Amino acid sequence: MTLRPRHWLYSIVYGGPVWLHSVLQRSQSEAELDEELSFHLERQIQEDIDRGIDPAEARHRAQRGQHRIAHVKQECRDVRRIHPLEDLVKDALYAFRTLRNAPVFAVTAALTIALGIGMSTAIFSVTDAVLLRPLPYPDSSRLFMALRDMPKRGVEDYPMSSPDFADIRNESMAVFEEVAAVAIANRSTVILKADGTPEQVHIQSATSDLLPLLGAKTILGRGFSEADGQAGTGQPEPAILSYEYWQRRYGGDQTVVGRPIPEIGAVVIGVTGPGFELLLPPRLGLERSPDVWLPLRVSNSNAGRNAAALRMIGRLKPGMTIAQAQPVLDAIAAGFEQKFAVKATSGFAIRLEPMRHYLVAEVQPTILALTGSVVFLLLIACANVANLLLIRTSTREREFAMRASLGGTRFRLTRQLIAEALVLAGIGGTLGVALAWAAIRGVQHETPLTPGLASLPRLNAIGLTGAEIAFAVLATAAAAVLLGAVTAWRAARPDVIRILRSNGAIASSGRGGTKFRNAIVTAEIALSFVLLTGSGLMFRSFLAMRHIGLGYDPRDVLIFRMTGLQRDARARAAFGSELESRLRALPEVKAVTSSSALPLAEGYQVVRWGKEDEPADTIAGAADYQSVRPGYFEALHTPILEGRGFMPEDDSPASRVIIVDDLLAAREFPQESALGKRLLVSIPGQGPQRYEIIGIVPHLRNASLAEIGREQIYSTEALAGYPISGYWAVRTSGDRAKCTAAIRAEVEKLDKNIAVSGMPRMLAYVERAESKTRFSVLLIGVFAAIAALLAGLGLYGILATMVRQRTSEIGIRVAMGATPSAVFRLVVGRGMLLSATGLAAGVLTSLLLTRAMTGLLVGVHPADPLTFLGTAALFLAIAVAASWLPARRAAALDPAASLKE
């Protein structure tokens, strides 16, 4: 009969219910079978009696009939395919017993699988939460950031000004269903708690449509209205509380609506639902769960046309694709370039980016690299266990041959082996899920081992959900099938006669088996080589990053910010000078300074600059700008390469001096010293002016250690109008807690209305910048170490088995005059041959794969020869170590004894 697909389909449709009935309603189905067959038997007896057969003979026949019926029933069950289920249980129990007799093997194999499954499930949970799961907003697939780029200045994602946003919103109605904006800076201020103790409260401004756009529910009062977003009503600002702040500060008071918040001149109009988060990349420095929302006023006035104020989020209309929407925005951007000369010189582009991608773009390469590594680890773990199983089956060949000769079919033997693999994988998988659970908990509670993870977006969405369990189950099933198939394929074809005849002194398990195991070990070595090179490259990047001269000494420097400063610039200037002298008077304080921005913190503004004689409208250089207090470089131990630092007399609105970094100096004045030269710079609030360069300092990495970043320009604070939000940096000696308390006390003595933020160490910013790499280095390093260990064990297993199986051959060699060292070389040489093959494959794979890591590497090429050579050397060392014991054993063999064996 040929296989007809329709036939199978019908079988399932018609036979399925019958099968289900037999399986699910087991007892009823059994009873029916019983009844059917005993009916038959009774009729048979009746027939015999009717035919006049001797009653004794009839009874005898009936008894035989009973026996037969048991057999018939079994056949009927077989036909109904109930049998395999039962057998599987039997096989599994038998497998348990066999494994219990080999505890070392069973524990090693199960733990190896557990490690593979556990690690990959844990990493998958991160991948799932961060990269795969949609954002927790309605129709989140249609949410896009509309980012403003300045292509001609090489600046991406620069905040928009309020009037730009208003214009873009009006002109892009064809593509967006809803549009909103968030302010680029969130404020935090100190508000007294109900019991009178001060508390830092985070305030975020957003246009009135942001909360509805992101699906925030209003559980009390109302949301922002259109009118709330209008400028200048003179009324107190309407404020919406987060559910969490409402509970914390007001104890969930239902009558909170209408309550004023005098500290920020606002009045409560509503409360959002619990758990609402603003998911934007951590580098923007916005609070993920703001306590208070204020309306962001959108102005049409051209005055603020060039200010950086907000970022735009929009939901595309249903059915609208990014390919359809982007040209519309391109046209709008082109219109802007025509209307505004400044935008033409810098270039003006509006780039749509999916909101989810915007959130995770920074961490995506790391997570993908980790996912890749962990898949390799899982493969290596499986290969290792497969190897163990193969070695084990080779030692059990006699058992299998015996069973085969006693009538065990190949099918039965195979099934038995698959059952063992299933049991092993099952135990390993269960342990693995437990391991993953522990690992995930470890990740969520920041430990010294997992620094910087807090900056991972959507960290709290990471967990063992259905998807993770499904992943673990699938991985376990795949491992089981793989292991079962590998072993069954090898072992279920025993050459019965040869093995049984060979009386135990069998030379080897057949060339095929050895080749197969060698292939697995070679693959294992190749896979772990890839992991080790990956981790080596990461480690080199990490070292390179450490070697990047910071250009300042972040040790023993405390950073703080203040809110509630005086509104008047001159008052702020006076306050600053007073605070500086008071802090400097403290015995623990060695130096004090302040700046509008600090490296690796936030706060840099991008300013335009050009040659002294260029037309002001077309200057197109872009530099990071910060205004600093005189003595800034000295306080941070930044060397001044040429010229001098700012003096107190430079700190006047009339002064026209700047300090630039060596990058800008080298670019603009390659042949001569930049000192004393003049530049046209558009410092915010000053408009384009000419400034004299009085000093040159080293270039600092402001945004990230991995990127060089823009050129840098410094001015005194007077030119920037004594910024209201800046950083203070205090170089201290001695106890940190004592210093913190002393600084706070000084500020309070000066002005009770000023709130001081937390006081992190400047070093913490450096550590945070390193942490992304450090975390990857750590994890990939751990994976690689495990992989190398597994590969070493695999190699050891192969060689040890080889020595055991070739004992008599080695005995003959020794008897024929081979020296122990020759035997030693034979075994080690075998190990080396396997490793070299694996290494060659590993090098090729690595060359292909490490290129994908480029985004993660700093100062090191993906095909870095040193890393590759170092890893190869390490591997050869591991191979020698793994060969050592078996080789020693082989060399020490007593020829007489081994031949007898």
Partner 1 sequence: MSRPADLVQGTLDLLLLKILALEPLHGWAISQRLTQVSSNILQVSDGSLYPALHKLEQEGWIKAEWKTSELGRRAKFYALTRLGRKELDRQAADWARLSTAITNVVQLPDLN
Residues that bind partner 1 (CB under 8 A): 1, 10-11, 13-15, 18-19, 32, 35-37, 39-41, 43-44, 65, 68-69, 71-72, 75-76, 78-81
514: closest CA among 797, 792, 787?
797
DSSP β-ladder status, 589-595 and 605-611 = unpaired
Six token digits for residue 643: 């010229």
- Cα separation, 32 vs 733, whole angstroms: 90
Nearer to partner 1, 70 or 654 (CB): 70
Nearer to partner 1, 68 or 749 (CB): 68
- Cα separation, 541 vs 382, whole angstroms: 30
| Secondary structure (H, E, C), 462-498 | CCCCHHHHHHHHHHHHHHHHHHHHHHHHHHCCCCHHH
Residue 84 CB, shortest distance to partner 1, in Å, is 14
One-letter amino acid at 687 equals G
- Cα separation, 94 vs 101, whole angstroms: 11
Q: Quick check: helix, strand or coil at residue 49?
A: helix
Per the CB < 8 A criterion, the answer to whether 175 and 317 are in contact is yes
How large is the angle between the packed helices 466-491 and 410-444, nearest 10 degrees? 150
Nearer to partner 1, 71 or 445 (CB): 71
- Cα separation, 723 vs 594, whole angstroms: 10
Per the CB < 8 A criterion, the answer to whether 236 and 267 are in contact is yes
Nearer to partner 1, 66 or 225 (CB): 66
Nearer to partner 1, 8 or 543 (CB): 8
Nearer to partner 1, 6 or 97 (CB): 6
Nearer to partner 1, 44 or 502 (CB): 44
Q: Which residues contact residue 228 at a Cβ distance below 8 angstroms, ignoring those fewer than 6 apart?
A: 208, 238, 269, 295
Residue 43 CB, shortest distance to partner 1, in Å, is 4
Nearer to partner 1, 15 or 198 (CB): 15
Nearer to partner 1, 14 or 817 (CB): 14
Q: Which residues contact residue 43 at a Cβ distance below 8 angstroms, ignoring those fewer than 6 apart?
A: none
Q: Quick check: helix, strand or coil at residue 745?
A: helix
Residue 55 CB, shortest distance to partner 1, in Å, is 20
Q: Burial letters for 59-90: b for 16+ Cβ neighbours within 10 Å, e otherwise?
A: eeeeeebeeebeebeeeebeebebeeeeeeee
Nearer to partner 1, 20 or 194 (CB): 20
Residue 99 CB, shortest distance to partner 1, in Å, is 35
Residue 37 CB, shortest distance to partner 1, in Å, is 7
Per the CB < 8 A criterion, the answer to whether 203 and 725 are in contact is no
Residue 88 CB, shortest distance to partner 1, in Å, is 19
| Secondary structure (H, E, C), 706-726 | CCCCCEEEEEECCCCCCCCCC
Residue 59 CB, shortest distance to partner 1, in Å, is 18
Cα 329 off chain centre by: 33
Residue 407 CB, shortest distance to partner 1, in Å, is 20
Per the CB < 8 A criterion, the answer to whether 270 and 221 are in contact is yes
- Cα separation, 379 vs 782, whole angstroms: 16
Place of tokens 């190398």: 788
Name the region of 236 (left: φ>0; alpha: ψ -120 to 50; beta: rest).
Answer: beta
Residue 33 CB, shortest distance to partner 1, in Å, is 8
Nearer to partner 1, 67 or 97 (CB): 67
Q: Virtual CA dihedral for 74, 76, 79, 83, nearest 10 degrees?
A: -30
Residue 16 CB, shortest distance to partner 1, in Å, is 9
Residue 18 CB, shortest distance to partner 1, in Å, is 6
Nearer to partner 1, 22 or 121 (CB): 22
Residue 79 CB, shortest distance to partner 1, in Å, is 4
Per the CB < 8 A criterion, the answer to whether 743 and 583 are in contact is yes
Q: Which residues contact residue 742 at a Cβ distance below 8 angstroms, ignoring those fewer than 6 apart?
A: 586, 588, 589
One-letter amino acid at 62 equals A
Residue 50 CB, shortest distance to partner 1, in Å, is 12
Six token digits for residue 335: 């219109």
Six token digits for residue 229: 């977003």
Span between the terminal Cα atoms of the chain, in Å = 54
Residue 76 CB, shortest distance to partner 1, in Å, is 5
Q: Quick check: helix, strand or coil at residue 746?
A: helix
Per the CB < 8 A criterion, the answer to whether 868 and 533 are in contact is yes
Per the CB < 8 A criterion, the answer to whether 838 and 529 are in contact is yes
Nearer to partner 1, 20 or 641 (CB): 20
- Cα separation, 774 vs 412, whole angstroms: 51
Nearer to partner 1, 47 or 894 (CB): 47
- Cα separation, 121 vs 371, whole angstroms: 10
Residue 75 CB, shortest distance to partner 1, in Å, is 4
775: closest CA among 443, 280, 356?
443
Residue 840 CB, shortest distance to partner 1, in Å, is 54
Six token digits for residue 640: 């001044």
Q: Quick check: helix, strand or coil at residue 843?
A: helix
Nearer to partner 1, 72 or 876 (CB): 72
Residue 442: phi and psi, rounded to 5, are: -65, -40
Nearer to partner 1, 65 or 886 (CB): 65
Nearer to partner 1, 29 or 204 (CB): 29
- Cα separation, 130 vs 368, whole angstroms: 11
Residue 73 CB, shortest distance to partner 1, in Å, is 8
Residue 791 CB, shortest distance to partner 1, in Å, is 49
Residue 680: phi and psi, rounded to 5, are: -95, 115
Nearer to partner 1, 42 or 226 (CB): 42
